[in-house]
Amino acid sequence: MEGLRSAVGLLPTLMLVVTAVSFAYRSGALGALAELAAPALEHIGIDGNTVPLALIRPVSGSGALAVYNSIITDLGPDSTSGRIATVLMGSTETTFYTIAVYFSAVKLKAEARVFISSLTADAAGFFFSAAVVKLFY
C-alpha cells in the first residue's frame, strides 16, 4: 500500500517532466540550444553531434535514448560521436527524474544545491566522456 501511495504522489511530477521534455524536443528548442552551444564546445574539443544528448540526458532517459539512437543510426557506433554518446549514456543519470523520485518519496523539497551539484556531475560526465574517447581512440 505504501508503494502505491508513493507512485500516486510521484505521478504529477513525472507527468510534468515528460510533458516538458516532449515540448522542448518537438518544438525545436532543444535543437536550437544545441546549435548555440555546439561551436563553443567544439572549440574546446567536444563533438557537436553529442550536444543534444548531453542536454536531454539529465532530464529524460527515454528522450536521451531516442537522441542516442539517432546518433548511432546516422553516424555509426564506431564514429567519434557514437563512442562519446555511448560513454555518456553509461556514465550519466537522468538527474531531474532521480531527484523528483527520491525527494518525493521522502516528502522533502529539493534545495538548489542539490540541483547544482547534480548538474555539475552531469557536466563532468559529459566532458570526461569526450576526453576518454579522444584519449583512447
User: Mind spelling out the 3-state secondary structure of the chain?
Assistant: CHHHHHHHHHHHHHHHHHHHHHHHHHHCHHHHHHHHHHHHHHHCCCCHHHHHHHHHCCCCHHHHHHHHHHHHHHHCCCCHHHHHHHHHHHHCCCHHHHHHHHHHHCCCCCCHHHHHHHHHHHHHHHHHHHHHHHHHC
* pLDDT above 90 as % of the chain: 24
Each residue of 55-69: pLDDT tens digit? 888 888 878 888 899
Query: Could you tell me the pTM of the whole model?
Result: 0.76
Q: What is the pLDDT of residue 106?
A: 81
> What's the rounded mean pLDDT across residues 42-55?
82
